[in-house]
Structure 1
Amino acid sequence: MRTGLKITAFAAAVAATFGTAYGVGSGVSPVTAADERPSNEHGGHGQNTEEGAVAATDVVPGGLQVSERGYTLALAKDRLPGTSGELRFTIRKDATGKPVTSYETEHGKELHLIVASRDLTAYRHLHPVRAADGTWSTPVSLPKAGDYRVFADFTPSGEKEGLTLGAGLGVAGQYAPARLPEHAARAEVEGGYEVRIEGALRPGAASELALSVYKDGRPVTDLEPYLGAYGHLVALRSGDLAYLHVHPHDGRPGPEVSFTATAPSTGTYRLFLDFKHDGEVRTAAFTVHAA
């Protein structure tokens, strides 16, 4: 997938903010810990964030705008009456006002949809279906009420680069935002899985992140391809939810899946790794500080 953030890829040229390179190995240092987070209070790209992000690149991150480069993400409804329902939307060409009906296929899909809560504790990677008139739809089940953001990651046919558009979504019900989870080098995943992360995330400089999958304490060496890769990584910046979706380099089916990434600014990020094993897609989440 592609985004407006800058990313350096080893085997595939992808423009984004957080990428990865396979086979980092033991030479990778631990991810920046919580006590190393930056103290600067100025927001990146002229925007304030909860963790005080500071601009490090001139590229505007993806997902911050509902309209960009002549395209607009138009939700049929920007509020759901409950935590379960259907999302419907179109990608409209601003010049004509008509829905886009032709897309490039990337990683097996014409469009990838991410829904994340504003507090970054809820995350869904969805694959909507497109009707002939250009309307996309997908069922969605969210864990709680509150404020969410919807990200559409796609490349219209004829465009050389993909883009990511974002729009707000409200879910009715009682809601109290949760605190962002603290940094940890390990994440437990339902089913007896554990994912370990190594590496350093640096603003404005390429760095490597390696994520290794274990089950019941043993390395998983038979990860299954999911959308053409052994893992998919989404990164969201705390505060403004600047978005990045990247894919790993070709490599062995585990236990390590790795990426080369460039953070757009200092600040705190929430990383979501999707991986497939025993026929089921699972997600591990990490809090990482770029400093």
Structure 2
Amino acid sequence: MILKLLGSGLLSMAFLSGCTATQTVDHNQHNAVSSGNEQGEHAGHGTTTPAPSMDIKSIWKLSTDKPEPNQKSNISIQIDDSKGAPVEKFDVNHEKQLHLILVSKDLSYFDHIHPEYMGKGLFEISTMFPKNGEYKLIADFIPTGSQQKTENHWVQVGNEKAALEPIIPDTSLTKTVDNKEVTLQFDKLQAGKEVQMNFSFKDSKTQAPITNLQPYLGAVGHVVIISSDVEHYIHNHPLEEKATGPDAKFATFFPKSGVYKIWGQFQQNSQVIIVPFVVQVP
């Protein structure tokens, strides 16, 4: 999840191809960018030597070929190397060996969950999909000794063709969630260059700055960004992981112009909140 930052390093990214595509990034950095239809090179900077990239493949299985809404579905992800042998070891990255992102095709649904590692390259978890439609599952992990990888898989839930909700950019980048007023700001919203973004927190009733944010998965927050065509996936970690508010600052990279949905995940008083925003990137 993790790119070098301009100013604090150089952005590094890779792009994916196919339904179960693979992304590789330098996991000593702060962000990951991946795409479903392109492939690119990695950039390094300074004295940091990127880990070698491992060719891997993923095998996805669900407990049923046609999951139904609001019913438990078991998901297994088998991670093998290019020769078909299981990948045995994975780095713990922000407290977990694998992060699994689930989004509906219209991005109206989002979840960030963590399958259990069963050994011999196998991860398992049980979850529910809330409604009919297509969902993209994105697995984010680091095989030990390798660069970070992203594998993705589409799932059709139910037999009905679900109506897609429109993805419309927000006219205001201030949201109130669980008595917290959260404002998202960018230094300059643009594609193709590093962008600094800041989430600022106030108590929605008193307007007092919130300064007691707690670590969530080892950092003040996490941000997932996905393009409206569900091709580009970006996972950001904060520039100052030990910050407690009122600001949580991130650097990110939008690979092309278009509409993107952003989910910020934060924690206060042992409660995790998700703050969504939709932006139009010039």
Q: TM-score, normalised by structure 1?
A: 0.75
Structure-2 change in CA distance of 1:132 and 1:92 (3 Å): closer
Q: Say if 1:213 and 1:163 are closer, same or farther in 2 by CA, change over 3 A.
A: same
Residue 209 of structure 1 pairs with residue 197 of structure 2? yes
Which of residues 275, 278, 284 in structure 1 aligns to 2:266? 275
Task: Give per-residue Cα distances to partners, 1:165-205, cap 9 Å, x unaligned.
Answer: 1110121164211111332311232x222321111331111
In structure 1, the partner of 2:46 is: none
| Cα deviation, residue 84, structure 1 | 3.4
CA distance in 2, matches of 1:249, 1:211: 12
Q: 2:148 aligns with which of 153, 162, 170?
A: 162
| SS of residue in 2 equivalent to 1:148 | strand
Deviation at 1:101, TM superposition (A): 2.5
**Structure 1 residue 270: Cα displacement:** 0.6
Structure 1, unaligned stretches of length 5 or more? 18-43, 47-59
Residues in 2 aligned to 1:13 and 1:274: alpha-carbon distance in whole angstroms: 25
- Structure 2 equivalent of residue 185 of structure 1: 173
Could you tell me which amino acid in structure 2 is paired with residue 263 of structure 1? F
Selected match of 1:140 from 107, 110, 127: 127
Partner of 2:36: 64
- Write the distance in 2 (CA, Å) between the matches of 1:275 and 1:9: 24
Of structures 1 and 2, the one scoring higher in RCO (CA 8 A, sep 6+) is: 1
- Say which of 104, 115, 118 aligns to 1:128: 115
Question: Where in structure 2 are there 5+ consecutive unaligned residues?
Answer: 18-31, 40-52
Structure 2: distance between partners of 1:129 and 1:9: 35
Letter paired with 2:151: L
Q: Give the drift of 1:103.
A: 0.5
Structure 1 residue 225 and structure 2 residue 215: aligned? Answer: yes
User: Is 1:172 equivalent to 2:154 in the alignment?
Assistant: no
Shift of 1:11: 5.5
**What is the TM-score of this pair, normalised by structure 2?**
0.78
Whether contact under 8 Å (2:16, 2:35) holds in the other structure is no
Give deviations 1:38-76, integer Å, cap 9, x for gaps: xxxxxx999xxxxxxxxxxxxx952527x9962223211
The answer to which of 105-114 and 80-89 deviates more is 80-89
Give yes or no for the alignment of 1:254 onto 2:245: yes
Q: Closer, same or farther in 2 for the Cα pair 1:154/1:211, shift >3 Å?
A: same
AA in 2 matched with 1:162: Q
Q: 1:258 to 1:277 in 2, by over 3 A?
A: same
- What is the distance in 2 between the residues matched to 1:112 and 1:223? 22
* Bigger shift: residues 245-254 or 227-236: 245-254
Question: C-alpha separation between the residues in 2 aligned to 1:173 and 1:104?
Answer: 38
The Cα shift of 1:283 comes to 0.4
Q: Could you say which residue in structure 2 is the equivalent of 1:151?
A: 138
1:87–1:140 contact (8 Å) kept in structure 2:
yes
Equivalent residues of 2:99, 2:113 under 8 A apart: yes
How many residue pairs get aligned? The number is 246
1:281 Cα deviation from its structure 2 partner: 1.1
Deviates more, 1:167-176 or 1:244-253: 167-176
Whether 2:232 is the aligned partner of 1:235: answer: no
Q: Deviations over 1:55-107 (max 9, x none)?
A: xxxxx952527x99622232112642233323422243242223322111111
- Residue 147 of structure 1 aligns with an amino acid whose one-letter code is E
CA RMSD of aligned residues (A): 2.9
With over 3 angstroms needed to count, the CA separation of the structure-2 counterparts of 1:145 and 1:131, relative to structure 1, is: same
State how far apart, in whole Å, the 2-side matches of 1:137 and 1:9 are.
37
Provide the secondary structure at the position in 1 that maps to 2:34. coil
